[in-house]
Structure 1
């Protein structure tokens, strides 16, 4: 193991010599510094952890949806660790409280609507003919889309 050193007021991370050598080889092939590669890898890992956490919270929201709809319809709710931790009709007020009470952890915030899943319509930049009665006009807006049916 490498020796532990002090960086500012925090101890530096310990990394085995084997991992450090592997990191250096990959960094050399990519033409970047090993510490930059390590930083990128750690940031990627943390983003993925956050995504997985929010996915679990989203699943908890769906499981709680019927109960939330009965008690908090139209309100914004905060889900953390699989449970309701706060709610408010005003999203900004809820966000301010969450910044105080949960400053370093991701918390799912969703509005309680009749359908727990959001629905997206996809647009395409082409006409599609389905019989002579119906044409679908497709318009692309910033990569997001919705399909509009036009009688023809």
Structure 2
């Protein structure tokens, strides 16, 4: 029986050490990849939005999703739905850019529903109405083939 080696992080948790491309897809060991987002970074809302927008504009929505996930997990409990919805939008764009129309549309619509239900309309200056429209429009046309993540990146504020 062949024993498989699992990559581990410094704390012993399973974490792939394979490099990733700009859309978060694993590449072969040793291949040049995109620098990964560090996990567990605590940022304020403004810093979260600036970093996520930078990554979205660079065509790296998977990495923006990780920034939103950090905010979701480390931020105030009252804002967890906001950041979860934002993460779903970013990963929806990731799937759409990878050519996964079904998954992309589903996550875009799920994220849009989450932020549409959020009680505040412009938390931290986020254009919730504009993001909801963007996500629903993109979800309606992802079946036409993979989208260009950088060209389709939304404006968050």
Which structure has more strand as a fraction of its residues?
A: 1
TM-score past 0.5 threshold? no
**TM-score, normalised with respect to structure 1:** 0.24
Q: Whose helix fraction is larger, Structure 1's or Structure 2's?
A: 2
Rg: which structure is higher?
1
Q: Which one scores higher on RCO, CA 8 angstroms, separation ≥ 6?
A: 2
